[in-house]
Amino acid sequence: RMGLPVAASIGTTLAAFSPLLFWPGTTGKFMAYMPVTVFAVLLWSLLYALVFAPTLGVAMSKVQSKESIALTPTSAPAVGIRCFSFISRQYLLLLSIAIRHPLKNTFIALTFLSAVFMGYSKFGAGVAFFTDSENQFGTVIVRAQGNFSVMQKRQLTEQVQTRIRAFNEVRQLHVSSDETWVVAKDTSRDQISVFYVELVPSNERERSSREVFSAIQQATENVPGILVSAKNVENGPPVGKDLQIQISSTDRASMYQTSAFIRQWIDKNVAGLRDLEDTMPLPGVQWEMHVDRSKAAMSGVSVATVGQAVQLVTNGLLVGQFRPNDADEEIEIRLRYPARLRHLSALDELFVESAAGSVPVSHFTQRLPAPRVDVIQRLDMQESVMVMAFTEEGYLIDDQTRQISAWLKAQNFPADVEVRLRGANEEQAKSASFLLTAFTLAMGLMLVMMLAQFNSFYQAFLILFAVVLSTAGVMLGLLLTKGIFSITLTGIGIVALAGIVVNNNIVLIHTYNFIRASQPELSLETAVYEAAKSRWRPIMLTSITTIVGLLPLANGISVDIVNRTWEENGMIVSWWQPLASTIVNGLTVSTVMTLLLTPTLLMVPSALKYRFKAMWPSSSAS
């Protein structure tokens, strides 16, 4: 008899997770393993529950007794009272009161749910794309402006390295001053080196990784001539710096002017940001040689010849390449003038050979200063500049981007300048949109399954109403703990709860229908009472085992049963804590309200019908 509701329960959970298989973008690739794992585990558990568990039960019964055993169902109320005597008595008392006054109790429950949602909308702690978590790794970025040589960069970097090594929490350091990072859209133009820092495990240090890297930044603040920023390595999907604003245009001057204007406004008006910077070219002068092609042609000189002559004064003329036996990369062989002849005025004194003899380059070239452009950055095939910053502890990037977005909409930028918010804000919007679509599709799939099984829109509505109850539980938990709503992990938790919490209602309503069909002489109130009483034990057991299993993780405690150790706020547990808290809070509230509100809602149609007859007796008689 329970095969169909068990299969339906597994089906609803699979329906909730199935849209997550098609999660697009970087976040989808990052979280793709979760729905695949859930599908594999639940399909095997369904096979075990319907085939292996009954078979093993019969086999063990035969071993215990050689005689024929009549498999009669155990009295659920007796077992329930024996195991949960006090709680069971209190529940049955509340249940009898609830189903005697269905309309009043339904109104109280709906008022409570409305108060929770309204309270969270007003007093919620805020929203984040991916909540911060403990990490054993991080980066320290060193920035400085100037035309530094390799040795000068090394000296500045060593000053920072000495101060970082003074921290006992630091296990290893790896530093790089390569310039290949300039291709990244969120990298500073004046970055001279980056440290990759490995901390000792969290159970061997007193401070969290965030506190350690904050202390490192404070310890390196007074190093003259450089700027240092330190942070954890991102645990979630990679989005770069918290605040990223892309300014794109075909007019370079307008783009630079707009970028500077936006950066200045953010620096003065937005609190809680650090390391505010942009990717505009660093201040500097570059000299350009403008060639008059007609005059050069009259002298019999080509532009390529002029370029080769200029290279003799600057970087050198490439002659060839050579790779020694003990090297992995080739070495360039360049020809240029001695150092004493390589100066700026030498460009005006150059001579090139022509058919008429040596000709001074200054006769058909002009040397002009221009603003230095070290790198031209293109994003989405548009020349762009990024304005970026990190969010300080105690602030939410969602609140800051909301303030900046409102100001940007009120500005009248040039028509050929496009301003976009990117980074965490962009990924957060994409993830929120997808999870809302996935939640809607999951609810639609579950509705179809419930209609196919129960053939009743009202009972299908009651089953899916458990999703509202679980969501209210999540919001209530965030309100009480002042937690941040993580779009990724809390959102996945709500979608997962949609497939979990409906199982209790499926079992309860299926039992109610069975009692009504097998014992039609019972009154509606008695049938509802008996159904809830008989399903009390399995509903409580399944919910308690799930909640107890996730409770340590939800409270930031990681238990290693093999080594008999435990760790508080470790690297792994802090990563999954928002998801575990979501399921614990939602399942707790949903279970309590399912056991009381679902039986009450089963009585509502009859109570409304009775109330309607009492108010309009003549209408009901006709």
Fill in the DSSP letter of residue 185. Answer: T
Are 9 and 503 a contacting pair, CB within 8 Å? yes
- Same domain for 28 and 92? no
- Separation CA 33–CA 15 (nearest Å): 16
Q: Which of 330, 347, 371 is the last residue of a domain?
A: 371
- Same domain for 9 and 85? no
- Separation CA 18–CA 129 (nearest Å): 22
Are 60 and 75 a contacting pair, CB within 8 Å? no
Question: Measured in whole angstroms, how far is the alpha carbon of residue 608 from the centre of its chain?
Answer: 46
Whether 170 is in a domain gets the answer yes
Please state the pTM of the whole predicted model. 0.75
Are 229 and 141 a contacting pair, CB within 8 Å? yes
- Separation CA 513–CA 520 (nearest Å): 10
- Same domain for 16 and 110? no
DSSP structure string for 329-367: S-EEEEE---GGG-SGGGGGG-EEEETTEEEEGGGTEEE
Q: Which of 437, 518, 439 is nearest to 17 (CA)?
A: 439
Whether 9 is in a domain gets the answer yes
User: Residues 549, 550, 551, CA angle at the centre, nearest 5°?
Assistant: 100
- Same domain for 16 and 6? yes
DSSP structure string for 521-561: TS-HHHHHHHHHHHHHHHHHHHHHHHHHHHHHHHTTEEEET
Q: Which of 321, 339, 371 is the last residue of a domain?
A: 371
- Same domain for 77 and 33? no
Whether 524 is in a domain gets the answer yes
Whether 104 is in a domain gets the answer yes
CATH at 139: 3.30.70.1430
Domains: count for the chain: 4
Whether 99 is in a domain gets the answer yes
| C-alpha distances in Å from residue 301, one per residue of 305, 306, 313, 318, 362 | 7, 8, 18, 20, 12
User: Residues 436, 439, 440, CA angle at the centre, nearest 5°?
Assistant: 90
Whether 350 is in a domain gets the answer yes
pLDDT given for residue 328 in this prediction: 82
pLDDT given for residue 419 in this prediction: 92
- Separation CA 300–CA 297 (nearest Å): 5
Are 441 and 19 a contacting pair, CB within 8 Å? yes
- Separation CA 507–CA 463 (nearest Å): 10
The residue type found at 481 is: T
pLDDT given for residue 183 in this prediction: 42
- Same domain for 61 and 77? no
Whether 182 is in a domain gets the answer yes
Helix (H) or strand (E) holding 385: strand 382-391
pLDDT given for residue 527 in this prediction: 92
- Same domain for 198 and 343? no
- Same domain for 203 and 290? no
Name 16's Cβ contacts closer than 8 Å, sequence gap at least 6.
442, 446, 495, 496, 498, 499, 500
Name 478's Cβ contacts closer than 8 Å, sequence gap at least 6.
120, 124, 125, 484, 485, 490, 585
Q: Which of 79, 392, 475, 418 is nearest to 217 (CA)?
A: 392
Fill in the DSSP letter of residue 201. Answer: P
Supply the range of the domain harboring residue 570.
Answer: 73-123+456-609
Are 321 and 331 a contacting pair, CB within 8 Å? yes
- Same domain for 188 and 294? no
Name 605's Cβ contacts closer than 8 Å, sequence gap at least 6.
458
Model pLDDT for residues 381-405, shown as the tens digit of each residue = 888 988 989 888 888 888 898 899 9
β-strand pairing of 127-128 with 485-486? parallel
Fill in the DSSP letter of residue 21. Answer: G
- Separation CA 519–CA 504 (nearest Å): 22
> Averaged in consecutive runs of 10 residues, what is the pLDDT profile of the chain (622 residues)?
77 84 79 85 87 84 58 47 70 89 91 93 84 83 81 88 92 77 58 90 86 90 87 73 89 91 93 86 81 86 87 88 85 88 85 84 86 76 88 85 92 91 79 85 88 90 92 93 87 86 88 90 91 88 90 85 79 84 93 91 88 66 48
The residues pairing with 378 across neighbouring beta strands, listed in sequence order, are 383
Q: Which two tokens stand for residue 111?
A: 């008022």
- Same domain for 506 and 577? yes
CATH at 589: 1.20.1640.10
Q: Is 180 exposed, middle or buried (0-12, 13-18, 19+ CB in 10 A)?
A: exposed
Q: Is 522 exposed, middle or buried (0-12, 13-18, 19+ CB in 10 A)?
A: middle
Q: Which of 313, 340, 371 is the last residue of a domain?
A: 371
Helix (H) or strand (E) holding 579: helix 571-615
- Separation CA 430–CA 24 (nearest Å): 9
Q: Which two tokens stand for residue 180?
A: 């290949």
Reduce the DSSP state of residue 490 to 3 states and report it.
helix
- Same domain for 484 and 571? yes
CA dihedral 491, 492, 498, 503 (to 10 degrees): -150
- Same domain for 63 and 180? no
Tell me the backbone φ, ψ of residue 388, rounded to 5 degrees.
-135, 155
